[in-house]
A = this chain, B = another copy of it.
Amino acid sequence: MKIINEDITIDSKGHSDIIDITHQVKEKVSSSRLKNGSVLVFVPGATGSVTTMEYEPGLIADMQAALERLAPKKLEYDHNLKWGDGNGHSHIRASMLGPSLAVPFTNGQLILGTWQQIIFIDMDNRPRSRELVVQITGE
């Protein structure tokens, strides 16, 4: 068994920008030449999350609306009062959806549903360049 650490760089627009990272994750698994194992995708940062969804424009808009219901931007956040960042809602959304996702692979292929993509959501309130960790463990 081996562990291979990679990262992928994502340029996002922020404001709950949802980005399909399936292709980059697949490429890292493929170039690892491991056949059997799992890939851990991790966001080093407190305002981003990884999960899966069917990546199509309708659901992208629906997810952004759902995140707005979950932690509305216009609420008063103590974080904003104290630090003036204006991204209290970003932090809450990110902590609730979580920074970490593990996906299994066999025969060098990620096991995903036909309509299931791996997504990164940048909850922050400004454009950012992000380095996500892609750690592949397998044989």
B-contacting residues of A (Cβ < 8 Å)?
Answer: 1, 3, 5, 36-38, 40, 42-46, 51-54, 56-59, 61-63, 66, 70-71, 77-83, 88, 91-92, 94-104, 106, 111-113, 115-116, 119, 133, 135, 137-139
Contacts and interface: CB of A to CB of B under 8 A. Distances in A.
A3 B139 contact: yes
Given A38-B137, A113-B46, A91 B1 contact: no
Given A52-B46, A59-B91, A137-B38, A101 B104 contact: no
26 contacts: A1-B3, A5-B36, A40-B104, A42-B104, A44-B112, A45-B113, A46-B52, A46-B53, A46-B54, A46-B113, A51-B95, A52-B98, A56-B82, A58-B77, A58-B88, A59-B78, A59-B88, A62-B77, A62-B91, A62-B92, A63-B92, A70-B70, A97-B98, A98-B101, A104-B135, A111-B133
B79 A62 contact: yes
A112 B111 CA distance: 26
Q: What is the oligomeric copy number?
A: 3
